[in-house]
Amino acid sequence: MLTEQEKQALIDLANEARRRAYAPYSNYQVGAALRTKSGRLYTGCNVENAAYPHSMCAERVAIYKAVSDGEREFDVIVVATPNGGSPCGGCRQVMAEFGLDTIVLMADGEGRLVQETTVGGLLPFAFTPERLK
C-alpha cells in the first residue's frame, strides 16, 4: 500500500522527468517514475525522433533503465503527462512483461493524481511470458 506522501513524491519525480522530454514534434512531454520492489527509483522521459517510429515512450525508458541494472520486479510506475493521459498500448505490453500487479498512477502536469490502477487493469487478458509455456 502506497501512502499519499509516497504517491506525491513519485508524481513529482515523474513530472521532473517530464520537463526533460525531447518532444519537438508532438509537443506532448511525458515523464515516468518507476519504483522497483527492491526500492530503487528510475525515471524516463519520451524521446522523439524525426523518423517517428524510432521514438521512445517515457515508461519504456524507465523500465529499460531498470532492467539494464538487473531489476525485474516493479512496485509502482507513475506516468505524468500534461493532461493525465494513460500509457500507450506498447507501454502496457512492456509493463505486463514484468507483472500485472504493478500499480500504475497517472498524473497531470500540475502534479495531481488523475487515475490509479494496475497493469492488469490497463491490459486485461494480457499476453504474458506464462502464455509461452
Q: Mind telling me the catalytic residues?
A: 59
What is the Rg, in whole angstroms, of the alpha carbon atoms belonging to the chain? 14
User: For residue 108, which phi and psi values (nearest 5 degrees)?
Assistant: -100, 175
User: For residue 94, which phi and psi values (nearest 5 degrees)?
Assistant: -65, -40
What angle, 0 to 180 degrees and rounded to 10, lies between the N-to-C axes of helices 89-97 and 58-68?
20
Residue 20 three-state SS: coil
Distances (CA, A) of 37 to 65, 87, 97, 98, 101: 15, 21, 15, 11, 12
